[in-house]
Amino acid sequence: MKCDPKDLLLYAVTDRHWLNGRTLVDVVKESLDGGVTMIQLREKSLDEGKFLEEAKELQALCRERHVPFIVNDNVDIAKAMDADGVHVGQDDMAAKLGPDKIIGVSAHTVEEALLAEKQGADYLGVGAVFPTSSKSDVGEMSYETLKAICKAVSIPVVAIGGISQENVAKLAGSGICGVAVISAIYAKKDIKAAAADLKTAVEEMLKA
């Protein structure tokens, strides 16, 4: 299964921080109802057993909806559960899942983007394009750099970092094929509506 640029239109990354008593499966289901096109399970603090259990539940949900399911960073879990792919940092590129899996790589410069493409990445996550609280160690990237990265590679690029319905229009013309978000969907009271509204905004931005 390789990466279709259409799958990257609205890429939702999970975050336990926003659950407010709900289960992760419930909130992901709501976001899928709202039109999310790809799901990434991002867990920094769950033990392996719990992570695997949760990942399997989410994967079953994504399969029902024909939406790719990606595991963040944890190649072992992704392998163990036969996830559709994995998203890794620059240094973890060597950890391949298999030829039919989606490999996403984070890139912050044109050099990193070209290297990731050369090493077999199927798509790039590029940012942070706006200030963000979820990754304090990543500096904000200029629109020019984002555009230069999109121009330099032939694989799809998804913008990440601080993206919301209010600012997504600023990314028009950059060459991206979608956006990856956390709080713009999962921090909202009505997750389904937030996803649907953001998807409309992204589609308008891509047409602009």
Residues with catalytic roles: 42, 106, 135
In one-letter notation, the amino acid at residue 158 is: V
Quote the CA–CA distance of 12 and 33 in Å, as a whole number. Answer: 12
Contact indicator for 103, 97 with CB cutoff of 8 Å: yes
Quote the CA–CA distance of 167 and 43 in Å, as a whole number. Answer: 26
Quote the CA–CA distance of 196 and 183 in Å, as a whole number. Answer: 14
Contact indicator for 100, 84 with CB cutoff of 8 Å: no
- 132, HSE (Cβ side, Cα atoms, 13 Å): 24
Instruction: Please give the sequence-ordered ranges of beta strands (E in DSSP) within the chain, or none if there are none.
Output: 10-13, 38-41, 69-72, 85-88, 102-107, 123-127, 157-160, 178-181
